[in-house]
Structure 1
Amino acid sequence: MKMIAASAKIHPLSVIEDGAVIGENVVVGPFCHVGPKVVLHDGVELLTHVVVTGRTVIGRGTRIFANAVIGGDPQSLHHDGAETTLTVGENCTFREGVTVNTGTTEGGGKTIVGDNNLFLANSHVAHDCILGNHIVMSNNVMLAGHVKVEDRVILGGGSAVHQFTRIGRQAFIGGLSAVSYDVIPYGMLNGNPGILGGLNVVGMARAGMDKPAIHEVRRAFKQIFEGEGSVRNNAAAIRADYAHSVPVMQILDFIAAESDRALSSPNRGKG
């Protein structure tokens, strides 16, 4: 049985399957298809020719544009057909042709997208990805399975991210870049293969970080990547010196955490 709020506006040329839950003030335009295990929270808008399927929850105020497919089965040879989930947060925007898949059993069964994210045309979020908040994925960006993207990351058009890679908060990925290794918070990566060229200083300033704090992060960056020891040893060696600096500690914690991928650096990928 459908559960459709009285204030929802459903175009007669759309299909809402039995079992779907449609919140207050939801708008579903023509030629949309909403599956039987979908929840559309209050204020969600599907413009036209949108498919929302699978066990998928779409957060309040999210807008989905034409030809997007949200909640499709994972594109994984290892998927066993078990029911997995996709959860999308509030106030996200999915532009034309965006695809987001549910999780896989082996990956924990969940794909999670946070709040206030912008997905431009034809971008793709694969199975078991975990995305934070205020992320911008430009046109044709591709995230492979099990990728983790932290808050306020910007991914330039046509960039591609290898499976199991982590991208730290407020990093910037240049257009057409190949992200094969983890990118530290506030890092700036460009090229194919991707090279960590420095820090996203412009983004740091726009986020309200003052000049002394930015200078501290730059000094720590040089100590980590230009020191004589390994990156991880250099990072561990300076931890006590920067205990007062939240952004530097975010970088150091990111480096110290376990990961399936190596770290991007100014040298990795160069001949």
Structure 2
Amino acid sequence: MISPLAYVHPEAKIGENVEIAPFVFIDKNVVIGDNNKIMANANILYGSRIGNGNTIFPGAVIGAIPQDLKFRGEESTAEIGDNNLIRENVTINRGTAAKGRTIVGNNNLLMEGVHVAHDALVGNGCIIGNSTKMAGEIVIDDNAIVSANVLMHQFCHVGSHVMIQGGCRFSKDIPPYIIAGREPIAFSGINIIGLRRRGFANEVIENIHNAYRIIYQSGLNTTEALKKIEDEFEKSPEIDYIIGFIRNSERGIIK
């Protein structure tokens, strides 16, 4: 399953049933699990950790050193989970001393030209559109959909089940369950279609909708809005997540 035209460092650890195409480069200090397919001209560099069942398309580069001038050659990793599709020319840099690792979880689709910078954390079940660029130490929670050509400022946090319009750029956090779009980027309603597809009950969607009406349309400041939600809404995982996300946001949320 390993082409004689591929280079695999003798210290690299390769699992079972791994297909490695011609002109693939696999460095030392690399661990690759079972049932992976690595297509031609992909580069799996020092510090890469790849789980099971992934497909890595031509030209992808995983584990390159960070594009961060503070990096001093410290040991770090780029960690990919299971069952991801990593399309052509995706770049996933390894971590720095800040966190030590860059992580992409399970069941994600990273489309052509996506860049995942040092110390980023991408959750599970996310779809990241063509040529979207993530700066260092961003966090994307599970089941987010990020369209093409989106630019994310360093340290930003994107919540679960969001939909971000193509071509957006942002430097504040995007709270869960919403659609973010327009120029400049702004709250554009909740992601009703996405939530229904994910099996959220109508009453749960209505509660989320009502919570965001208070946050974005009541005229209250953020602290007052969150207090009103806590006082008036029945506790639920979704409402707790919204409150915790916004309350813990260091950069503030989009308006």
TM-based fold match above 0.5: yes
1:157 equivalent among 143, 148, 156:
148
User: 1:19 aligns to what SS in structure 2?
Assistant: coil
2:222 is equivalent to residue 218 of structure 1: no
1:200 to 186, 191, 206: 191
Tell me, in whole angstroms, the C-alpha distance in 2 between the residues paired with 1:102 and 1:232.
37
Structure 1 residue aligned with 2:226 = 235
Tell whether 2:100 aligns with 1:109.
Answer: yes
Specify the alignment match of 2:170 in structure 1.
179
| Cα shift at 1:231 | 1.5
1:236 Cα offset (Å): 2.5
Match of 1:14 in 2: 6
Alpha-carbon separation, structure 1, partners of 2:182 and 2:220: 25
Aligned-partner Cα distance in 2 for 1:92–1:195: 30
The amino acid that maps onto 2:254 is: S
Letter matched to residue 167 of structure 2: L
Report the counterpart of residue 254 of structure 2 in structure 1: 264
Match of 1:60 in 2: 52
**1:31 is the counterpart of 2:38:** no
For 1:119-160, what per-residue CA distance to the aligned partner results, in whole angstroms no more than 9, with x for missing partners?
A: 000011000101110000110011010100000000001111
Q: Output the CA distance in 2 between the equivalents of 1:208 and 1:179.
A: 29
* Whole-angstrom distance in 2 between the partners of 1:217 and 1:209: 10
Q: Distance in 2 between matches of 1:195 and 1:263?
A: 9
TM-superposed CA distance for 1:245, in Å, is 2.5
**8 Å contact 2:136–2:154 — kept in the other structure?**
yes
CA shift in 2, pair 1:54/1:192, >3 Å: farther
Q: CA deviation at 1:189?
A: 0.8
User: Which of residues 68, 72, 91 is equivalent to 1:80?
Assistant: 72
User: Does structure 2 conserve the Cα–Cα contact (< 8 Å) formed by 1:232 and 1:255?
Assistant: no
Q: CA deviation at 1:205?
A: 0.7
CA distance in 1, matches of 2:114, 2:223: 33
Question: Sequence identity of aligned pairs in percent?
Answer: 33
Provide the C-alpha distance between the structure 1 equivalents of 2:227 and 2:35, rounded to a whole number of angstroms.
47
The question of whether the paired residues in 2 share the 8 Å contact of 1:44 and 1:60 is answered with: yes
Query: 207-216 vs 30-39, which deviates more?
Result: 207-216
- Specify the SS of the correspondent of 1:188: strand
Question: Could you state the TM-score of these two structures normalised by the residue count of structure 1?
Answer: 0.91
RMSD: 1.1
Q: Secondary structure at the match of 1:197?
A: strand
Aligned-residue offset at 1:25:
0.3
CA distance in 2, matches of 1:91, 1:81: 30
Q: Which runs of 5+ in 2 are unaligned?
A: none
Cα deviation for residue 258 of structure 1 reads: 4.4
